[in-house]
A and B are shown apart, each in its own frame.
Chain A
Amino acid sequence: MKDDVIISVKDLKTFFYTNNRCNKAVNGVSFDIKKGKTLCVVGESGCGKSVTASSIMQLLPKLSRIENGKITYHSNEGDIRIDQLKKNGAEMRAIRGSDISMIFQDPMTALNPVYSIGFQISENIQYHTRLKKSERKDQSIKLLKEMGIPLPEQRINEYPHQYSGGMRQRAMIAMAMACNPKVLIADEPTTALDVTIQAQIFELMDELKEKHDTAIMLITHDMGVVTELADDVVVMYMGNIVENGTVDDVLRKPSHPYTKALLESIPVLGRGKNQVIEPIKGSTPDPYNRPKGCQFAPRCPYADSSCLVMPDESSINNTHSVRCWHPMEAV
């Protein structure tokens, strides 16, 4: 295994079982999160981004389970197969919040309303270190300060509802960063925030990545953010990774028709109001009634009879791979 990889996911399948039907939410994805790098996972709503993240944390909802595949965490003490750990067992809990931590979409609902911010940060430290209560408090104040929250000595005793949206997400990040994790999983961390605050939060995350050498798995559908932050990009569609590569590979030389369509559907600031925006035709298929073969084929302008069979992943160069019978030529 290459030693710059911190988490490798191999052929992960996570299925949901509801009403005797099976939704193959994540249907065989493989990717690596590299040490100290940012991996952006992009795709439409419902394509399996969040489920992939939850699978890595073993925080899947009750009706779902990891069906197949390997999730390997390359820790300093050797490789750990996360998918083989018990969901809420001691080993998994030791990793969660300490080595791998997570921040969520809506910081209002993700924080417990009846406990102070200080309590909630300190709780994380309590379960992963041997620090005393007063040391935990000092540590929490230090974290809030690092996240750019003014007057941390006072604000530590305040409750989530006394924080603004951006502040809450900062507090959430403080909580996630409390034990200096190797990997930070951010599940659309700015969807619930204003645009100006979004930029600040991403700036903060980028700073932390540089400072603590934390790898970030960022789930987003904001292509602008991808350009700014990503080192590597994974494009997902209907539970599969359709394209995987460095940010240059994927954004400059998109190979999969879906990636290309996704990029063409975004308005670009400065190109004026007459720019051509091409929406992707059709809508995502019903997950219970999937098309045969390539999932994107029914909406793809290049589809032909060969697309009735699911294509394998094929390499374009040693960092760039695509899952398509007709990969696009670099423009």
Chain B
Amino acid sequence: MDRRTFLQNSMASAAYLGIAGAGLQSCSTQGTKQITILHTNDVHSHIDPFPSDHSRYANLGGLARRADLVHQIREENPNTLLFDAGDIFQGTPYFNFYGGELEFKLMSKLNYDAATIGNHDFDNGIDGLLAQVPHATFKLLSANYDFTNTVMNGFVNPYHTYYLDGIKIGVYGIGIALDGLVLQKLYKETVYHNPYEIALDTERKLKEEENCDLIICLSHLGYDYENNPNRPDDVTLATKTQHTQLIIGGHTHTFLEKPDVRLNKIGEEVLVNQVGCYGLNLGRIDFYFDSAKKVAGKGVSIQV
């Protein structure tokens, strides 16, 4: 190899490395991306762990421990979101004494990203809910409650989108019918809309207008009302939607052994999960993303 060729070769190599380097930087796309979704539901003001002599949940739960767990997982993967599926309030004297202030402040300290509204979150009336809004740094999401004619107007969004590591995540909230569950004088002029219709409309918006890569529903409908098919529930919601990939449920305090895999309207798999109640468990769903070419024809592999 004479000197000239050597130089030319090195220059070319340098150029190659440079470009390739820049390329790799600008597209961290080559590797798999991971989005971690953490969730709770029906915590019902359970801030302290259950006492050691409790008949069922001895030494389980507790906000300070949940904080440790969430912190560990966020360290492991910074691209983590934390959600709650409603019924944050009511269940221990902390709520009776402080009206939910402590619950909202602690959820903010744990960096919750969003919560939907459960029926018990109206227990101090819609004014009682509004009073706690200043203590929340997380979003309150509900697509099928219309708060227009209430004091909560402007404090609740139908959905919110997050952008993590180039992945756009759309999250919307769905609430349960209030009539019969909550006294009208508590929820006042809050209007409940059909959850299925609203879910379809909202997920379409998140897919087509917001171009989300991942769509999640926070639902307080309840897991499954087998004996009452007219009552909307999460497993039916899963079969009626087509863009939603995960339904994080609440209300029925259902302890699922593992996330439930259902088929949606177009025959694709959708996860329905609920982790019991009282902050005894933290749900965790990891979503992995690859380039379309790598995924092509392989479909989504689900490990639960």
Partners in one complex: no
Which residue numbers of B lie inside 8 Å of A, CB to CB?
none
